[in-house]
């Protein structure tokens, strides 16, 4: 049993109980297998576990906690390092699974919106999406050792990109977060991680 297995089991049961339906057969192992694909170095079961652990600390802040939790399960379900539509394909898988379980279109629509918010192209408008995005970005405010590991993991996923190009593109992405009015949109994550995230990003951009 891996260290994350009890967390995964607890989260999976809680999410589907909250949704009030039974998950399609074989869905949990299929998702865990997806997060264990060999092309992944950061978008792995480690990242999923970190997100779910953060969610457990803030679940009472969500308007629809079960929807946020199941969206976290699916937010990186599809991850092709050379693709630009991973979030769309991930949310399509989510909506298909939720539909098979018999959930209403309104729920499927909200989960779709939540997963698509992790594209990080625009700041979310709704509280649940802001909470989920902050959870996804919590890695930016991790301690310096974990942040360095994360930075190396992302580089490994893009090992096929020549270093000069990668370095420029990566700094552009990180600068984008620094240029925001705030990295975190929710009071909980802003209070706990904003300062560390700012320090991590400044150091990464300067290196």
- DSSP for 88-149? HHHHHHHHHHHHHTT--HHHHHHHHHHHHHTT-SS--SSHHHHHHHHHHTGGGGS-HHHHHH
Tell me the backbone φ, ψ of residue 176, rounded to 5 degrees. -60, -40
pLDDT in tens, 96-145: 999 999 999 999 999 999 999 999 988 899 999 999 999 999 999 999 99
Question: 41 vs 123, which has greater pLDDT?
Answer: 41
194 neighbors 182 (Cβ within 8 angstroms): yes
Q: What is the mean pLDDT of residues 17-35?
A: 98
Using the predicted structure, report yes or no on whether residue 38 has a pLDDT greater than 50: yes
* Alpha carbon separation from 168 to 71, 112, 173, 207 (Å, rounded): 31, 32, 9, 11
Tell me the pLDDT tens digit for each residue of 53-93: 999 999 999 999 999 999 999 999 999 999 999 999 999 99
Write down the pLDDT at residue 2: 59
Q: Average the pLDDT over 138-159 and give the result.
A: 98
User: Residue 151's pLDDT is what?
Assistant: 97
Q: Give 6-25 pLDDT, tens digit per residue.
A: 999 999 999 999 999 999 99
Residues in the chain: 207
Residue 168 has pLDDT above 90, yes or no: yes
Q: What are phi and psi of 88, to 5 degrees?
A: -65, -45
For residue 135, the Cα-to-chain-centroid distance in whole angstroms is 7
Q: Is 1 helix (H, G, I), strand (E, B) or coil?
A: coil
Provide the pLDDT for residue 3: 87
User: Per residue in 130-169, is it b (16+ CB within 10 Å) or e — as a string?
Assistant: bbbbbbbbbbbbbeeeebebbbebbbebbeeeeeeeeeee
Give span(s): CATH 1.10.3210, the chain.
Answer: 1-136
Query: Is residue 1 over pLDDT 60?
Result: no
Average pLDDT, the chain: 97
For the chain, percent of residues with pLDDT exceeding 70: 99
Is the domain covering 1-136 a CATH 1.10.3470 domain? Answer: no
Whether pTM exceeds 0.75: yes
End-to-end CA distance of the chain: 38
90: its two tokens: 């991930």
């Amino acid at each position: 049993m891996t260290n994350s297995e009890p967390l995964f089991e607890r989260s999976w049961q809680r999410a589907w109980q909250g949704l009030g339906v039974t998950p399609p057969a074989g869905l949990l192992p299929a998702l865990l297998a997806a997060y264990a694909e060999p092309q992944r170095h950061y978008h792995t079961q480690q990242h999923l576990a970190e997100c779910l652990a953060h969610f457990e600390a803030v679940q009472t802040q969500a308007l629809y906690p079960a929807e946020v939790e199941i969206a976290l399960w699916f937010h990186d379900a599809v991850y092709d390092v050379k693709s630009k539509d991973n979030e769309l394909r991930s949310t399509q898988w989510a909506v298909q699974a939720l539909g098979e379980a018999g959930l209403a279109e309104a729920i499927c629509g909200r989960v779709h919106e939540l997963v698509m918010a992790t594209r990080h192209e625009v700041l979310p408008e709704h509280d649940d999406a802001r909470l989920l995005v902050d959870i996804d970005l919590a890695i930016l405010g991790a301690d310096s050792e974990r942040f360095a590991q994360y930075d190396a993991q992302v580089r490994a996923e893009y090992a096929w990109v020549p270093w000069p190009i990668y370095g420029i593109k990566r700094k552009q992405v990180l600068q984008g977060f620094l240029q925001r009015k705030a990295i975190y949109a929710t009071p909980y994550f802003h209070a706990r991680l904003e300062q560390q995230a700012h320090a991590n990003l400044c150091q990464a951009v300067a290196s």
